[in-house]
Amino acid sequence: MDTNTLQAFLAVANTSSFSIAAEKLFITQPAVSKRIAALESELDTHLFDRIGRNISLTEAGRTLLPRAQRVIAELEDSKRAVSNLSGKVEGRLSIGTSHHIGLHRLPPVLRNYTLQYPDVELDLRFMDSEQACAAVLHGDLEIGIVTLPLEPIDNLIMKKVWDDPLSVVVGKTHPLAKKKNIKVEQLAKHAAILPARGTYTREVLERTFTPLGTNLLISLSTNYLETIKMMVDVGLGWSVLPLSMLNKNNYRLINVAGLKFERTLGVVQHRERTLSNAANALIEML
């Protein structure tokens, strides 16, 4: 059993696809199939059920999965620890971040970083903050630059970088746009467009609204703040958005009595894994 076969196994397990796994590993699909076949032969058991185009783990595959993840994670950790001894800032750095942070926070940092450390190959992946945290825990990413979870997560170190104040916003033509001293009850009568349930940002909002006992009229939920911003702009409802992404000429910030929102953006890393010099340099720059 070698690391190439384990990496192929993990790629197929994570994507439920031999073709997508091949793309991620930069090899051909037959090569992935060959590696999986070799691993199944060595273990004398099937690791995947193949029903039509659907690929799923067998019981043996589910048993192997966390062990394979640990083996590969330990190998990558060992490589980073040895590489760090040189003191050089180089190599591949895999980062997960949200679209919002990638658009509104990271550009100047990454511009300076790539100028200062040209030998680092950035592998920047856009995803929900919740997915990025999970990927760091599983060893798929070295660090995440995300909306930080509201509660601690086992084996995850969280470092604050930015405060991110939020505000209730409406479009210029919204009925609430010119009103002052708005109460929560008035706000609740209008359609809301909010981040999807299960996101850290939605949790921030729910922790504020729930104690007030107010039932919101939620017309739409989505993970993408840029989409919410567009829908607010065209008058489809009110929302709660980061001040950093708003052009006040196109939106109206609404002060609602008793409501104050803020989330925290920062870096997450695995507690038990060694960070590369490249990752440490980026965190220091952040």
Q: Is the pLDDT of residue 83 over 80?
A: no
The interaxial angle of helices 277-285 and 106-116, nearest 10 deg, is 130
For the stretch 154-208, pLDDT in tens is 999 999 999 999 999 999 889 998 888 888 888 989 999 999 988 999 999 988 8
Q: Is the pLDDT of residue 281 over 90?
A: yes
- Between strands 156-171 and 239-242, the pairing is antiparallel
For the stretch 30-59, pLDDT in tens is 999 999 999 999 999 999 998 877 899 999
Q: Is the CATH number of domain 1-85 1.10.10.10? A: yes
Phi, psi of 155 (to 5 degrees): 70, 15
Residue 264 has a pLDDT of: 95
Q: Which listed CATH number (3.90.470.10, 3.40.50.1820, 3.40.190.290, 3.20.20.140) goes with 162-263? A: 3.40.190.290
% of residues, the chain, pLDDT over 90: 62
Residue 128 near residue 182, CB atoms below 8 Å: no
Residue 39 has a pLDDT of: 94
For the stretch 218-244, pLDDT in tens is 998 988 899 999 999 888 999 999 988
The more confident residue out of 260 and 267 is: 267
> What's the mean pLDDT in 109-120?
95
User: Which has the closest alpha carbon to 253: 241, 235, 236?
Assistant: 241
Residues 6+ apart with CB under 8 A from 222: 193, 195, 196, 228
Domain map (residue ranges) of the chain: 1-85, 162-263
Residue 79 has a pLDDT of: 82
Q: How confident is the model at residue 133 (pLDDT cuts 50, 70, 90)?
A: very high
Residue 284 near residue 117, CB atoms below 8 Å: no
| Other C-beta atoms lying within 10 Å of the C-beta of residue 195 | 23
Cα 250 to Cα 176: distance, rounded to the nearest angstrom: 14
1-85 and 162-263 agree in CATH topology: no
The residues pairing with 93 across neighbouring beta strands, listed in sequence order, are 122
Question: For residues 76, 81, 85 and 86, what is the CA-based torsion angle, rounded to 10 degrees?
Answer: 20
Q: Is the pLDDT of residue 213 over 90?
A: no
